[in-house]
A and B are shown apart, each in its own frame.
Chain A
């Protein structure tokens, strides 16, 4: 007899089907089509031209690799900054924690474009940082690398994604029994070894959650590199946008989108597996 509870899984199955599997299938199908540029029409069929373009032209693997690198760098930076930040939030008195939570999430309320223009004001040639440095006579000419460089992209993405990482680590640390850290210190571990051998493994699930969120958000970000990266701001996403829009080359757009997606999924899976390994061998279930 079929279990009547199985019907409860129906909404999830439908959501997956309509929201993920169906659109992906459409992408796969279109990636094998071609375009009649004279008639401006998509021609159904089975050709490998778009796939040859994406995998053969070194530009696209480069852009995809850059997305992975951007995600990896942002994830590492936010993790390095997120732990000290989350550990200090942990020590706040209870009533200050809700205040800290609101402050932590404030940048997220402002919207990406607003933040991007704010960065321009801060980092531009006549911006806050350069004016300050010039005023203090620390530099003679405005620092050019501050804006429209890979540095700017990395900084802005780090700033944008830090709340997600901090939040995930904070929750994980709140659940960590601090006596375990005390025990490590008691047994002779200085603060850093105690962190590496006890705090880090026991918060690895939180780190993993934060890392996956930050990786996806930063590797998949188009606006920040586009508006702040200057000449270095080209992204696979911008290419996809261009192919789907102006170029009217949906098959190539589909092939690029699928390749990017698959690469990011594999990278994220490797990242997650690596982080979870920090947690050591999972304990077998108690008898």
Chain B
């Protein structure tokens, strides 16, 4: 990320709100998207992330607030007048056109687009679909359709490409493969991507910036490491990375560290925001913040479930009424009591 030049703001949302009569689906959202940045909207289903994409694409009109492109409001512009293209979740390939005609669609609508065939060929080659020009969408696999959808959107040379859970319908292996391809493509094209997903692994793998959403609001925005290491709320901590949350209260705090007393004991850990003494707070324990078998300040924990996860085992254990998840090299017996050390420097204290 460090090689990236300071990004010019391409698109901004200010107080963006959408409601369909009931409670807002998107609620006073603000963000800036940098040129060339890969931004991901991450959140559970129904959090409003797809609605934000549709607002940017021009398929929905905001109930309140504005969207600005290069500082100019574009809310009155219909989809066809926005330099933005979408890769739809269902791909939305035109079933009555073959691959070539699908990709050429945007070029045939404008005059002076030059050599259409050459542009289509280049776009299809970029997604490794050059040999499929005569196929119809129903003759392609899900992964192939996804590639054609990307080619069709990018051949229009958008300033911003919107992708609505483009990989969710694919199997795990294909998904991982296409993640790499998408990221690679984004780097080569040098255009901004906004990617919607509910899969945090996918978000981590692809994004420069992740915006975590809940109930219509962006609850945290930042680089993936930032989101993982310093979750701004228990929602983010819980949604990202299978954390164990232990509530407690602050004994003492500095600007970015805190000492918290919990049912498991008293720990010193990085913290945000700046806490005051006696304030309730939550200790976020990632699997790597817990080390089984350590002697010393270990907590005795009763093993509940053991799941084989390939390179190690995921263990769910209970200590002082708190459920803790951690990784172990060898599988403990369910019901057994294991000593478990809490590594304060790998934990985080966030607001309750």
Contact = CB atoms under 8 A, between A and B. Distances in A.
Nearest to B78: A185
A127 interface: no
B57 interface: yes
A182 B95 CA distance: 14
Nearest to B136: A283
A231 interface: no
Contact of B139 (A187, A197, A201, A284): A284
B105 interface: yes
Contacts of A177: 90, 92
B59 interface: yes
A69 to B, nearest CB: 31
Nearest to A190: B80
A187 B88 contact: no
A187 B138 contact: no
Contacts of A183: 86, 88, 92-94
A186 B86 contact: yes
Contacts of B3: none
A202 interface: yes
A12 interface: no
A129 interface: no
B97 interface: yes
Interface string A163-187: 0000000000000010110111111
B82 to A, nearest CB: 8
Contacts of B189: none
A286 B95 CA distance: 12
B92 A202 contact: no
Contact of A186 (B79, B90, B110, B139): B79
A287 B144 CA distance: 14
B106 interface: yes
Interface in B68-101: 78-80, 84-86, 88, 90, 92-98
Contacts of B261: none
A202 B105 contact: no
A182 B53 CA distance: 13
B66 interface: no
A177 B93 CA distance: 10
Interface of B: 57-59, 78-80, 84-86, 88, 90, 92-98, 105-106, 109-110, 136-139, 152-153, 156
A287 B93 CA distance: 18
Given A182-B79, A186-B84, A287-B139, 16 more contacts: A177-B90, A182-B59, A184-B94, A185-B58, A185-B79, A186-B79, A187-B80, A187-B106, A187-B109, A187-B156, A189-B105, A197-B105, A198-B94, A281-B98, A283-B95, A283-B137
16 contacts: A177-B92, A182-B86, A183-B88, A184-B105, A185-B58, A185-B59, A186-B58, A186-B84, A187-B109, A187-B152, A188-B106, A189-B109, A197-B105, A201-B96, A281-B98, A283-B95
Contacts of B109: 187-189, 193
A284 B92 contact: no
B154 to A, nearest CB: 11
Contacts of B95: 180, 202, 283
A279 interface: yes
B165 to A, nearest CB: 13
Contacts of B105: 184, 187, 189, 197
Contacts of A279: 96
Contacts of B156: 187-188
Interface residues of A, number: 24
Interface string A259-287: 00000000000000000000111011011
Contacts of A187: 80, 85, 105-106, 109, 152-153, 156
Contacts of A193: 109
Contacts of B80: 185-190
A179 B139 contact: no
A186 to B, nearest CB: 5
Contact of A179 (B84, B88, B138): B88
B150 to A, nearest CB: 13
A280 B86 contact: no
A8 to B, nearest CB: 31
A176 to B, nearest CB: 10
- Which of A183, A189, A190, A197: most chain B Cβ within 10 A? A183
A115 to B, nearest CB: 38
Nearest to A283: B136
A179 B153 CA distance: 14
Contacts of A186: 57-59, 79-80, 84-86, 153
B90 A179 contact: yes
B138 A283 contact: yes
B148 to A, nearest CB: 12
Interface string A201-224: 110000000000000000000000
A202 B95 CA distance: 8
B85 A284 contact: no
Contacts of A189: 80, 105, 109
Nearest to B162: A186
The 10 closest A-B pairs by CB, nearest first: A283-B136, A187-B106, A183-B92, A280-B96, A185-B79, A179-B92, A188-B109, A188-B106, A188-B80, A186-B86
- Which of A198, A281, A283: most chain B Cβ within 10 A? A283
A198 B90 CA distance: 16
A89 B85 CA distance: 29
A188 B108 CA distance: 10
A284 B96 CA distance: 11
B195 to A, nearest CB: 16
B94 A180 contact: yes
Contacts of A280: 96-97
